[in-house]
């Protein structure tokens, strides 16, 4: 494992050095054509939205659903800033049946999440982002994301990112109210450095970070944990309007994910466990198909607290969704998902439907039903209603 990491370091450092040189050239070119301080059209800045593979899944995803930010005006000698946010209220009813057939019922209402995002753009090729988040169960407000992006303009698709982000171990897109099992198990958050390219056909990045789970005595080596991601998105015009995206990623330390790291005793592994993912999306007219698959290499016995003694679990999960825009304001989505070697932590198979209605551009009302079966014979039925307000 140490040999693999030492081989990667020169490649990673050379990639970062090359990216810095390219960004410097792009910056020099941009200085020759500065953005007009009076410009209010983002295209005049040469701006591109953050792609999901850029590393910050949450911010890139919410940008797509913000029709009109609270503030987007040049200020302070051309500095432009935006603020937007979201509030989600949920009420749920749950039926749990254990392996012996005993049934229990529960219901609750909660503030599922409240969040505020901010973007500061001093020049067209430099952007700073922040994300404050409160979720159900939190005792306060957390700084969920904070990072800077250099590059990623219409004229130059290369970029560097640095800060607290969500490295793109998988693409956890969903039209449902609840998070897919893939996200619940494998989503990763870390302070990371990312170098990438967001071209018309090809998008890729290399990320390095130093999470809590590492080798005994390890620490201080930023590229001891790394992520490589590649995505292909052919233009829709030659395909008759069909939008496709096919991606894959590889990380040498899948235990860095938020769920798995809590299951590793002392957050130390004798050898790092790798993992990989595949994602696919297709959109044609009112229909959208989403598919995701993630799998880890086998863990050693005793590496994960939730696994039975003596076992060598190899956690994996998949998510498959088909979404249909019934009318301008209505969307119906079906999900089929599941996983393996997750035992009682997640359903072995789960499926359900979600109906969402958006009577106004900033408001979404949704109703979801899911039924899940566990590997030990237990089952669960969950009905959730959600009101989501974007501002």
Q: 124 pLDDT exceeds 90?
A: no
Angle at 349 (CA atoms; ends 347, 351), nearest 5 degrees = 105
CB hemisphere CA count around 301 (13 angstroms): 4
The percentage of the chain sitting over the pLDDT mark of 90, rounded to a whole number, equals: 50
pLDDT band at 308; cut points 50, 70, 90: very high
Q: Which pair of tokens denotes residue 2?
A: 């140490």
Selection from 168, 155, 172, 240 nearest residue 203 by Cα: 168
pLDDT of residue 136: 92
Q: Which domains can be identified in the chain, with CATH numbers? A: 2-390 (2.40.160.10)
Question: When comparing pLDDT for 69 and 211, which is higher?
Answer: 211
**How would you classify the pairing of strands 349-360 and 190-198?**
unpaired
Question: When comparing pLDDT for 172 and 109, which is higher?
Answer: 109
pLDDT band at 76; cut points 50, 70, 90: low
Q: 317 pLDDT exceeds 90?
A: yes
pLDDT of residue 79: 77
Average pLDDT, the chain: 81
Q: Quote the distance between the C-alpha of residue 156 and its chain's center.
A: 24
pLDDT band at 26; cut points 50, 70, 90: very low
Q: Tell me phi and psi for residue 185, to 5 degrees.
A: -95, -40
- Mean pLDDT, residues 189-193 taken together: 89
Q: 63 pLDDT exceeds 80?
A: no
Rounded Cα distance between 153 and 161, Å, is 13
Q: Which of 64-73, 157-166, 376-385 has the lowest mean pLDDT?
A: 64-73
pLDDT of residue 218: 60
Residue indicated by tokens 């560097």: 160
Q: Which of 15-24, 122-131, 138-147, 151-160 has the lowest mean pLDDT?
A: 15-24
Rounded Cα distance between 60 and 169, Å, is 15
Rounded Cα distance between 233 and 109, Å, is 40
Question: When comparing pLDDT for 325 and 31, which is higher?
Answer: 325
Give the end-to-end CA distance of the chain in Å, rounded to a whole number.
Answer: 47
Question: pTM score, two decimals?
Answer: 0.82
> pLDDT tens, 218-273?
655 667 899 999 999 998 888 888 999 999 999 999 999 989 999 999 888 989 99
């Amino acid at each position: 494992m140490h040999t693999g990491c030492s081989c990667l370091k020169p490649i990673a450092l050379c990639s970062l050095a090359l990216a810095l040189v390219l960004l410097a050239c792009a910056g020099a070119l941009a200085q020759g054509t500065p953005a007009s301080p009076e410009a209010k059209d983002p295209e005049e800045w040469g701006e591109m939205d953050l792609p999901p593979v850029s590393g910050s899944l949450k911010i890139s995803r919410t940008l797509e659903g913000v029709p009109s930010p609270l503030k987007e005006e040049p200020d302070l000698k051309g500095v432009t800033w935006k603020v937007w946010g979201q509030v989600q209220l949920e009420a749920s009813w749950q039926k749990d049946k254990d392996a012996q057939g005993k049934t229990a019922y529960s219901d609750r209402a909660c503030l599922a999440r409240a969040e505020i995002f901010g973007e500061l753009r001093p020049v067209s090729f430099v952007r700073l982002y922040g994300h404050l988040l409160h979720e159900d169960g939190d005792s306060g407000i957390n700084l969920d994301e904070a990072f800077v992006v250099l590059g990623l303009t219409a004229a130059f698709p290369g970029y560097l990112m640095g800060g607290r982000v969500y490295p793109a171990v998988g693409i956890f897109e969903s039209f449902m109210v609840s998070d897919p099992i893939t996200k619940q198990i494998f989503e990763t958050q870390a302070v990371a450095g990312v170098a990438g390219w967001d071209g018309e056909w090809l998008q890729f990045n290399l990320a390095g970070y130093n999470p809590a789970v590492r080798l005994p005595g390890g620490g201080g080596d930023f590229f001891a944990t790394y992520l490589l991601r590649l995505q292909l998105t052919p233009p829709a015009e030659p395909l008759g309007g069909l939008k496709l995206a096919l991606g894959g990623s590889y990380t040498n330390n899948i235990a860095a994910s938020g769920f798995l790291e809590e299951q590793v005793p002392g957050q130390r592994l004798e050898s790092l466990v790798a993992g990989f993912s595949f994602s696919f999306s297709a959109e044609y007219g009112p229909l959208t198909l989403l598919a995701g698959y993630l799998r880890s290499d086998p863990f050693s016995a005793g590496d994960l607290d939730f696994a039975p003694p003596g076992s060598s679990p190899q956690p994996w999960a998949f998510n498959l969704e088909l979404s249909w825009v019934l009318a301008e304001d209505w969307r119906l989505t079906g999900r089929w998902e599941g996983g393996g070697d997750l035992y009682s932590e997640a359903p072995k198979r789960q499926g359900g439907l979600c109906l969402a209605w958006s009577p106004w551009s900033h408001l979404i009302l949704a109703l979801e039903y899911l039924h899940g079966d566990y590997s030990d014979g237990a089952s669960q039925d969950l009905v959730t209603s959600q009101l989501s307000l974007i501002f």
